[in-house]
Amino acid sequence: MATSPLQLLHEAFPGRAKQIDQILGFMGKPWAATPPSLLINGNSSLGKTAVLKATLSAMLGGGSDSGSSSTHIQSEQQLQELRRRLPSRYAFLDCVECHTPRLIFEHAIYQLRNPPPSQDKGSIIFPSTHTPTAGMSEKKEATTVSRKRKRMTTSPLDWNRCENVNDFVEWCRKICDTKDELDEFHETHGNHRVVSGSISKHQNETRYLVLDRAERLRDTAPTLISVLMRLQELTGRNICVVLITTIVWEKFRSKTGGYEPIVLNFPQYTKSETVAILRKDLPAEEEEDLDLYMRFVDLVYDVFQRNCKDLNEIRHLVALLFPLYIKPVKEGKIQKHEGLKLHRHIQAYFVEAMDKLYLREISSTEWSDRTLSTASGSLSGGSGSTGGGAGGHVSAAPGGDRALTTALDVQNVFDLPYYTKFILIASFLASYNPPRLDMRYFAKVSSTGSKMTKRSKVAAAKKHGHDSMGSKLRQQLLGPKPFPIERMLAIFYSILDEEVEENVNVHTQIASLVSLRMLQRVTPMDKLDSIKCKCNVSYEMIKTLAKSTRFEIDKYLYDFS
Amino acid sequence: MEIRHDLFNREWELMTGRIENVMRNMNTVVLSAIYNFVHNAYSRQSSNAAMPFLELPTGLIFAGINVPDHDLLFQQIAQTISSSVPPSSGPLEAEDMEPDHNKTASASSASHVVILQSKDCTNLKSAQKSMIEQFLGLGIAGATNPLEGGTRLQNYDMLVLERWYQSLCESDDGAGEERKQPTLVVILQDFESFDYDTLQDFITICSNYQDRIPFVLLMGLATSIDALHQGLPKAVLSRLQTRKFQMQQSSECLTAIIEDLFIHANYIVMHHFYANPLSILCDRSLTAQSKALDLLTYVEGKLEGDPQEAEMLILDDEFLVQQIPDLVQGLCEYHQNFGMIFDFLWFLQTRFSISLLKKPKRALYFMALEGSLINSSHIPFLQNWLQLFKESPRCVPKESTALENAMDRELIVVQSIRDRMGALLDIVSEDSVTSSSEVEDNGEEAEESSKTLSGGFVKKRKLVSLNVYAHETDGRQTRIAKKTRETTRIPKGALGAYTLLVKEIDETISRLFRYLSSRGPDVYVSTLSTDVV
């Protein structure tokens, strides 16, 4: 064995060595007493979950090695085997998935009473891990394998009902007290008593209860947090609760001061750490392009780090953009060392990526489909920009891409029934125009508008003072204002050329617009009178709608650009 | 009355079946695309190893604003996906998939599909519950239901699903290891109405379980992609690997239905029958006598129209029974003709590039039914355009060159013989293609005796079809079965002939319209009902 598990871990998580050491330090020997609770916090995608999971599975899950204490290979293997077979020493719960206390309890008990989920070595070595969340850490190929293995080891269902904290505490005691071969193993190998001398009672291995995305606990079970913090105390057993969260502990605190966990912060990755992580993403078959890849990673980091600190996003971008970067090299159009040319070639894509990809306006598959299909177009675009000079490259975005973009835009257009369009336009006007100006815009000389004018007069009188105060801020920037349905209807009838009866259809349309979330109801559902709504549609969309109905929206909008 | 009701039900079923058929056919291309997407979602991913982490394959289905249709649509989608055979219009997927791939896809067990509607998913618990229950309900016979095992797993626990899936895979194992794992497809039918917070958690959970259960999401969006971006935060969005599918617009749907149902089918005949009490006669097993009472009331209303006949009808059932097939035949015939003329009108309309003229088919049809089509400005307008053609033949080439390609394509589809006229127009004006035209003389008939150009066509067209068409034209114009036909050849390329043709076309058209106006559907129907009585 060339490397110890510790080294493996360190290798798998660049820039996280310190944290791993800290966690291992808290864990100590498998049977050692631990702090009652631990809180790991840090921004998303800093490897919190992955590190903890890998560490636990390496140390306790029989993943690769059992720890450094044993020197005998044979006993080591034996230990590993035991760990794989025997009930897990840790439970890993996702608080999004376990959205009721009962689910938390039952999942925890289930996991602690069953063998640990098999972890393939792949999942440790390849850090497909720095994910914001738990589940994605396993490699795809591992999926089927692990499923098969699980199938073999699946014990008969023993699911235990556990509905409240009392039961849970009881269960924890029971679980911790079950002495199995593993504990016996420790005992026979001797090095047990020496450490746990302070506790007279015989003590089994520490159990860990890990709660990922613990911030959700505050909603699902606010009282549970303080219980979990004191779980060791309550059970009187060696059990350690680990919370993983993106927020600071202060936000967890309830009024009555509970136990404080030990806080372990995962700091932001530095540039070199980021690059080191990205280095691992390079597919093995392109190993010879390592130089180029590293240069590219450097570039991407410099370009995007101002907008995006999220490691996953950068990895995402790198994975999708690198094939494009390397393409001209592979096709022999640009030499490897011509960095500037390559830079220019890729820049157009950077702009595009910043626009679309980062916002997920197009997904990764669409992006890769595009880049595949527009291969020739992109090349010509790229070389064109190379000759084009400084300003050229942005505008010289590949023609194919443009075409596709417009195709997507076309897709986004959808049609509404004719009158519904007008209802939507009217509500947009009602949302963005101050009511006092309704007279100016919509009053008709004829008597048809009289119904409206009365109402709007009242409304205008009410709102006038308020508006004059805040009129320095344009409504466009403030967002839509709620409006009474009646006002919108008045506008609706006034902007329509023809006479429409006010009947139930109009109201049905309003309701369906609400269900499509184009209108937002502000008043609560139980209030049936004087409903107020907001228009939840962007200006661009209204503009296209207005265009399709040949309605000049700009003439009616106040202070809009 | 009961009989009528039964009849109505039977016919109605037929009709809805037909409508559904139309809608299904309209979406076949999209459906097969979705099918491919679902079935390749996971195989494709393994090939795309460069991605740093798993993304949940998600199809965004832009189903249009017409929410009531969606039930049917999504059931259709579910059906398509869960069947192990790709939808029939096959050329698309044959290209997409590699051959060996194709084999595995067809060999693999079908995906399991559930449809979630927002009304089932008010909170996370109910959403999960509904999904899991639906999946378990779908479970194939071999799979054991973990809920039956007497355990106390809660029915919204994802572990239930995981276990179920495992047992599903196990039961599949017998068939061979190479088999693709079935995917679980979750359809979120009305994305906009979902509670977004619930949805976020739901998607997160699904993507957490993705390494164990291959999920595919399909979201039905009624509006635009903005809804997706408004509803979900970035953290969730970044877990989705979206792909867009555009369903047919509802207006197109409507057009297709109208076309299929009313213009090309005889269902309108049925419709008219159901509108009046005589509909029982549809069922020939019944004698008119049995419903004499109904008849009587009906007849009374019509007495003034044709007292003698009415009297006869009441008194003589035999006569009535005799009459009916003829009348029905007449109506059918009329309808066929109407359909053809209508097609032609439509075709004519599409030929002109001015957008002002373009009216959707449904509007045209509506007008026709109201009887206002003939009197509307629409037709004169079209005629004016034709006039333009006539007066300045030189401008035609310019117009028609642009249109020729489109027309040639359309010609194959459009059935009306009048379209051939259009083709001829082009061909003649282009002077490039050998054309033959057929001029038909049905001069024997007095009212419409003038020389009628019945059609021109490219030589490759079969003569048989020509005859059929010519025959139909006769039927349309004169409605008399016996015809004499005479074919003359027009020398190709002659401008004079061309002008002649245009003139003839114009004449024919105006005659057609005259015919239409004299025998609008309403007129005809009313005559029919009068006749019947």
Are B208 and A102 inside 8 Å of each other by CB? Answer: no
Are B65 and A415 inside 8 Å of each other by CB? Answer: yes
The pair phi, psi for residue A16, each rounded to 5°, is -120, 15
Q: Is B51 on the interface with A (CB under 8 A)?
A: yes
Are B238 and A140 inside 8 Å of each other by CB? Answer: no
Are B52 and A415 inside 8 Å of each other by CB? Answer: no
**Confidence class for position B345, pLDDT limits 50, 70, 90:** low
Report the residue of A157, A220, A297 to disrupt the B interface, i.e. the one with the largest count of B CBs within 10 Å.
A157
Over residues B233-257, mean pLDDT: 71
Q: Is A131 on the interface with B (CB under 8 A)?
A: yes
Identity of residue B177: E
Q: Is A212 on the interface with B (CB under 8 A)?
A: no
Are A96 and B54 inside 8 Å of each other by CB? Answer: no
Pairing label, strands B452-458, B435-440: antiparallel
Residue numbers of A between 217 and 256 with CB closer than 8 Å to B: none
Pairing label, strands B215-221, B240-246: unpaired
**Confidence class for position B263, pLDDT limits 50, 70, 90:** low
User: What angle separates helix A140-153 from helix B28-47, to the nearest 10 degrees?
Assistant: 80
Q: How far is CA A256 from CA A38, A226, A231, A259, B119, in A?
A: 19, 9, 16, 10, 40
- Do B248 and B64 form a contact (C-beta atoms < 8 A)? yes
Does an H or E element contain B244, and which? Answer: strand B240-246
> Which pLDDT score, from 0 to 100, does residue B234 have?
76
Are A96 and B212 inside 8 Å of each other by CB? Answer: no
pLDDT digits (tens, 9 = 90+) for B427-468: 433 433 333 333 333 323 323 322 333 333 333 333 333 333
> Which pLDDT score, from 0 to 100, does residue A390 have?
33
On average, the pLDDT of chain B sits at 56
Residue numbers of B between 194 and 213 with CB closer than 8 Å to A: 201, 204-205, 207-212
Residue numbers of B between 217 and 276 with CB closer than 8 Å to A: 222-227, 229-231, 234-235, 237-238, 240-244, 246, 249-251
Residue numbers of B between 63 and 82 with CB closer than 8 Å to A: 64-65, 67
- Please list, in sequence order, all residues whose beta carbon lies within 8 angstroms of the beta carbon of residue A325, skipping any fewer than 6 positions away: A292, A296, A342, A345, A346
Instruction: Please tell me the distance from the alpha carbon of residue B299 to that of residue A522, in angstroms, as a whole number.
Output: 59
Nearest residue on chain A to B222, alpha-carbon basis: A516
At residue B199, does pLDDT exceed 80? yes
Chain A residue numbers with beta carbons less than 8 Å from the beta carbon of B201 are 96, 99
Are B157 and A150 inside 8 Å of each other by CB? Answer: no
Q: Is A547 on the interface with B (CB under 8 A)?
A: no
H helix count then E strand count, chain B: 22, 7
**Confidence class for position B23, pLDDT limits 50, 70, 90:** low
Length of chain A, please?
Answer: 561
> Which pLDDT score, from 0 to 100, does residue B117 have?
82
Kindly state the tokens that stand for A482: 């709620």
Find the farthest-apart pair of alpha carbons in chain A and give their distance in angstroms, rounded.
Answer: 101
Q: Is A438 on the interface with B (CB under 8 A)?
A: no
> Which pLDDT score, from 0 to 100, does residue B177 have?
44
DSSP string, A159-217: -----SHHHHHHHHHHHHH---HHHHHHHHTSTTTTGGGG--S---PPEEEEEETGGGH
Cβ-Cβ pairs closer than 8 A, A with B, add up to 165
Chain A residue numbers with beta carbons less than 8 Å from the beta carbon of B52 are 128, 281, 312, 315-316, 319
- Do A521 and A514 form a contact (C-beta atoms < 8 A)? yes
DSSP string, B489-503: PPPTT-HHHHHHHHH
Pairing label, strands A239-245, A37-41: parallel
Instruction: Please tell me the distance from the alpha carbon of residue B77 to that of residue B84, in angstroms, as a whole number.
Output: 13
Are B210 and A135 inside 8 Å of each other by CB? Answer: yes
Complex prediction ipTM: 0.72
Q: How far is CA A108 from CA A94, A158, A161, A169, A504, in A?
A: 10, 13, 11, 11, 54
Residue numbers of B between 154 and 173 with CB closer than 8 Å to A: 154, 157-159, 163, 166, 169-170
**Confidence class for position B357, pLDDT limits 50, 70, 90:** very low
The pair phi, psi for residue B346, each rounded to 5°, is -60, -45
DSSP string, A417-432: -HHHHHHHHHHHHHHH
> Which pLDDT score, from 0 to 100, does residue B332 have?
59
**Confidence class for position B72, pLDDT limits 50, 70, 90:** confident
- Do A312 and A132 form a contact (C-beta atoms < 8 A)? yes
> Which pLDDT score, from 0 to 100, does residue B2 have?
65
Most confident of A527-536, B80-89, B230-239: A527-536
Are B52 and A319 inside 8 Å of each other by CB? Answer: yes
Q: Is A33 on the interface with B (CB under 8 A)?
A: no
Indicate the DSSP class of residue B291: G
What is the CA angle B456-B460-B466, rounded to 5? Answer: 45
Residue numbers of A between 296 and 315 with CB closer than 8 Å to B: 312-313, 315
Q: How many CB atoms lie within 10 A of CB B253?
A: 20
> Which pLDDT score, from 0 to 100, does residue A395 have?
34
Instruction: Please tell me the distance from the alpha carbon of residue B405 to that of residue B426, in angstroms, as a whole number.
Output: 10
Are B235 and A44 inside 8 Å of each other by CB? Answer: yes
Are A94 and B48 inside 8 Å of each other by CB? Answer: no
Are B65 and A414 inside 8 Å of each other by CB? Answer: yes
> Which pLDDT score, from 0 to 100, does residue A304 have?
79
Are A413 and B224 inside 8 Å of each other by CB? Answer: yes
Most confident of A502-511, B315-324, B481-490: A502-511
Q: Is B84 on the interface with A (CB under 8 A)?
A: no
DSSP string, A102-170: HHHHHHHHHHHHSPPPP--HHHHHS-TT--SSSGGGS-HHHHHHHHHHHHHHPPPP------SHHHHHH
Chain A residue numbers with beta carbons less than 8 Å from the beta carbon of B170 are 151
Does an H or E element contain B108, and which? Answer: none
Are B49 and A283 inside 8 Å of each other by CB? Answer: yes
Task: Report the sign of the C-alpha dihedral through residues B257, B260, B261, B264, in that order.
Answer: positive
Instruction: Please tell me the distance from the alpha carbon of residue A485 to that of residue A280, in angstroms, as a whole number.
Output: 58
Burial A487-504 (b: 16+ CB within 10 A, else e): bbbbbbbbbbeeeeeeee
Q: Is A417 on the interface with B (CB under 8 A)?
A: yes
Are A414 and B210 inside 8 Å of each other by CB? Answer: no
Nearest to B240 among A363, A413, A414 (CB): A363
Nearest residue on chain B to A286, alpha-carbon basis: B50
- Do A89 and A59 form a contact (C-beta atoms < 8 A)? no
Q: Is A187 on the interface with B (CB under 8 A)?
A: no
Are A517 and B227 inside 8 Å of each other by CB? Answer: yes
pLDDT digits (tens, 9 = 90+) for B438-447: 333 332 332 3
Q: Is B322 on the interface with A (CB under 8 A)?
A: no
Nearest residue on chain A to B247, alpha-carbon basis: A411
Task: Report the sign of the C-alpha dihedral through residues A123, A126, A130, A131, in that order.
Answer: negative
Pairing label, strands B435-440, A483-484: unpaired
Instruction: Please tell me the distance from the alpha carbon of residue B105 to that of residue B213, in angstroms, as a whole number.
Output: 18
Are A147 and B242 inside 8 Å of each other by CB? Answer: no
Nearest to B244 among A136, A411, A538 (CB): A411
Each residue's pLDDT expressed in tens, for chain A with a length of 561 residues: 445 777 788 888 888 888 888 888 888 777 777 888 888 888 877 878 888 888 888 777 654 443 444 445 666 677 777 777 777 788 888 888 888 888 888 888 888 887 776 544 333 333 333 433 333 333 333 334 344 444 344 444 566 777 788 888 888 888 887 776 666 666 666 554 444 444 434 567 788 888 888 888 888 777 888 888 888 888 888 888 888 888 888 888 776 667 788 888 888 888 888 888 888 777 666 677 788 888 888 888 888 777 777 787 788 778 778 877 877 777 777 777 777 777 787 777 787 777 666 666 666 666 666 665 554 343 333 333 333 333 333 333 333 343 344 444 444 456 677 888 888 888 988 888 888 888 777 776 544 444 444 444 444 444 444 444 444 556 777 788 889 988 888 888 888 877 777 677 788 888 888 888 888 888 887 777 788 888 888 888 888 888 888 888 888 887 766
Nearest to B212 among A99, A147, A359 (CB): A147
Nearest to A134 among B44, B153, B208 (CB): B208
DSSP string, B468-480: HHHHHHHHHHT--
Q: Is A280 on the interface with B (CB under 8 A)?
A: no
Chain A residue numbers with beta carbons less than 8 Å from the beta carbon of B203 are none
Q: Is B363 on the interface with A (CB under 8 A)?
A: no
> Which pLDDT score, from 0 to 100, does residue B523 have?
39
Strands (E), B358-502: 435-440, 452-458
> Which pLDDT score, from 0 to 100, does residue A463 have?
46
Instruction: Please tell me the distance from the alpha carbon of residue B251 to that of residue B259, in angstroms, as a whole number.
Output: 12
Chain B residue numbers with beta carbons less than 8 Å from the beta carbon of A215 are none
Task: Report the sign of the C-alpha dihedral through residues A300, A305, A306, A308, in that order.
Answer: positive
Instruction: Please tell me the distance from the alpha carbon of residue A383 to that of residue A342, in angstroms, as a whole number.
Output: 10
Q: Is B375 on the interface with A (CB under 8 A)?
A: no
At residue B92, does pLDDT exceed 70? no
The closest of A265, A208, A229, A226 to A33, measured between CA atoms, is: A208
Nearest to A412 among B158, B204, B224 (CB): B224
The pair phi, psi for residue B218, each rounded to 5°, is -130, 125
Q: How many Å lie between the alpha carbon of A215 and the closest alpha carbon of chain B? A: 13
Instruction: Please tell me the distance from the alpha carbon of residue A11 to that of residue A560, in angstroms, as a whole number.
Output: 57
Q: Is A413 on the interface with B (CB under 8 A)?
A: yes
Over residues B113-126, mean pLDDT: 82
**Confidence class for position B505, pLDDT limits 50, 70, 90:** low
**Confidence class for position B317, pLDDT limits 50, 70, 90:** low
Nearest residue on chain A to B250, alpha-carbon basis: A415
